[in-house]
Amino acid sequence: MRVSCLQENLAKGLSIVGRAVSTRSTLPVLGNILLEAKDNQLRLAATNLEIGINCWIGAMVEDEGAITVPARLLADFINNLPPERIDMELSVRTQTLSLRCARYTATIKGIDASQFPFVARAQADEDEGGSMADVIDGVTIPLEAANLRKMIDQVVYAASTDESRPTLTGVEVRFRSNELRMAATDGYRLSVRSVIFDEAIGPNEEIMVVVPAKSLGELARIAADADDEEPVKVIVAQSRNQILFQIPGNKDEARGSFQWVELSSQLIDGRFPDYNGIIPKSRDTRTVVDTAELLKAVRVAFLFARENNNIIRLTVMPDGKNGADDNKGQLRLTATSMEMGDSVNDIDAQIDGGEIEISFNAKYLIDVLSQVDQPQVVLDTTQSTRPGALRPVGVGEDEYLHVIMPMHPNR
């Protein structure tokens, strides 16, 4: 193998695939990154057997070939090089990779590329004998990168991090005709986001998969560097056990660019809980507030609430704090810490309905409010023991909805 590429491109590629490198594995090769030079491209690949990432960067290939080298050492070395051309050469006999860039040289001992596990790709090379059949014989759905990233950001935080509840560590993704819907819940809150496209993007028959939240988080991160003009392709394997995202690179990116990335992930095998039943069907009180103001008030209350299990109490006061005012409602946020003191913050609110007191986990409110782009949010409540529904004003209920279970402050 003899190949040359630009330092900034290689560094970028390594930072992308590096996230899939297994840090604690008994298989040494999983701590490595695969480099494969072929067709004037350099493919970088890493996998922890749950997520796999392939990244193609532009390169000049003199001799084709492949090798795996320790991920950490390679990335640290490349990151310290000046933004110039890097020449790499593999000694097949010793399985060592020599690198040269400006006045730096290094040789890194590798492990034979044939030892590296297969990292799923959208298209297998001909000489690999269609080994990717299980991925590609699926459904391909084109999506806008920016849209996809936003959707992921708006649901992924609601997924559970508790590994003992595997299904809830995933995000339910449904494709159907012209609709894409994502939902995540950790049992205490639920975030549902849906996008309706002008034309059909998916099959008529619904495809429903549970994607690990971690994998979607990686996807959102990579999509930040994507070309927004070109769609991200989503491929769901026929056997519904794997999903693959093909993300086109942004070639104009000055800080290093990739040609495209393919992120593949195992899917979570399990039935996602039916959440339709827990979405509140009615409301007694509707409270509309300024998103940024509410977020700030919650953050301030959180300073006290974090000493008290994150409990903040919301008091919805339709007539304002001093009784009959000129119809100016107030939303009061109270947080109490036994040891530190307490805080009471009022913000203006348009209120439709009766007074209510309801306690929420401050962290949950911060999570959702941080992801709302619209200037106003609406909070619908019924009773202080029943879930509250929160969504941005101007967005349909079926487009973005967040449901939070209140806390019992006295238990």
User: Which positions lie near other proteins, rule CB under 8 A?
Assistant: 25-27, 49, 118, 131, 134, 161-168, 185, 187-190, 239, 241-242, 266, 269-271, 273-275, 277-278, 308-309, 311, 361, 385, 387, 403, 405-411
Residue 141 Cβ, how far from other proteins at the closest point, in Å? 21
Residue 309, both tokens: 């299990």
Closest to other proteins by CB, 7 vs 160, is 160
Closest to other proteins by CB, 203 vs 273, is 273
Distance CA 278, CA 184 (A): 13
Residue 135 Cβ, how far from other proteins at the closest point, in Å? 10
Task: Say which amino acid occupies 402.
Answer: H
Tally of CB atoms within 10 A around 193? 25
Closest to other proteins by CB, 26 vs 322, is 26
Residue 1, both tokens: 């193998």
Residue 273 Cβ, how far from other proteins at the closest point, in Å? 5
Closest to other proteins by CB, 311 vs 378, is 311
Question: 174 - beta bridge partners?
Answer: 181, 208
Residue 235 Cβ, how far from other proteins at the closest point, in Å? 15
Residue 270 Cβ, how far from other proteins at the closest point, in Å? 6
Closest to other proteins by CB, 68 vs 185, is 185
Residue 188 Cβ, how far from other proteins at the closest point, in Å? 6
Instruction: Tell me if 290 sits within 8 A of 393, measured CB to CB.
Output: no
Closest to other proteins by CB, 93 vs 408, is 408
The string of DSSP codes covering 303-316 is HHHTTTTTEEEEEE
Closest to other proteins by CB, 149 vs 402, is 402
Residue 389 Cβ, how far from other proteins at the closest point, in Å? 11
Which of 353, 342, 262, 284 is CA-nearest to residue 45? Answer: 262
Q: Which helix (H) or strand (E) holds 69?
A: strand 65-70
Distance CA 149, CA 152 (A): 5
Which of 211, 101, 217 is CA-nearest to residue 149? Answer: 217
Burial of 184 per CB tally in 10 Å (0-12, 13-18, 19+)? buried
Q: How far is CA 191 from the centre of its chain?
A: 13
Distance CA 391, CA 398 (A): 10
Closest to other proteins by CB, 129 vs 323, is 129
Residue 73, both tokens: 């050492």
Distance CA 183, CA 189 (A): 11
Residue 310 Cβ, how far from other proteins at the closest point, in Å? 9
